[in-house]
Amino acid sequence: MLDRVTLRGLRARGHHGVFERERIEGQTFVVDLVLFLDTRPAASGDDLSRTAHYGIVAEEVTAIIAGDPVDLIETLAQRIADQCLKHEAVEEVEVTVHKPDAPITVPFDDVTITIHRGRA
């Protein structure tokens, strides 16, 4: 059974979406992450290099949000998952992308997608 490191509410402005207005004006995206890993090696030696450095992960994720635009939040979530899995200690990741300002014509609170990915 793997341990979990959770980051909630990572925010950045991105220009993702299929509509021209979304690409031009941009909007805030919020990401929640759960990194699944074995924290015992880090804990036994009190060694940051043997775990996932969540500060670096947070910076990488917000850079992806603010980076090259994509049409779908599904694609954005996959890019974030791929980056998280580049960290040696991370075995699986759950990514939730929130798009609270999605261009929907009826009242709503949030639009999200959640994906769970692991090493192949």
**Cα radius of gyration rounded to whole Å, the chain:** 15
**Which helix or strand (DSSP H or E) is residue 78 part of?**
helix 73-84
Query: Residue 98, Cβ neighbours under 10 Å: how many?
Result: 21
C-alpha distances in Å from residue 20, one per residue of 28, 67, 105: 16, 17, 16
Structural tokens at position 36 = 């699944």
86 is catalytic: no
Of 16, 87, 99, 117, the catalytic one is: 99
Give catalytic residue positions.
Answer: 99
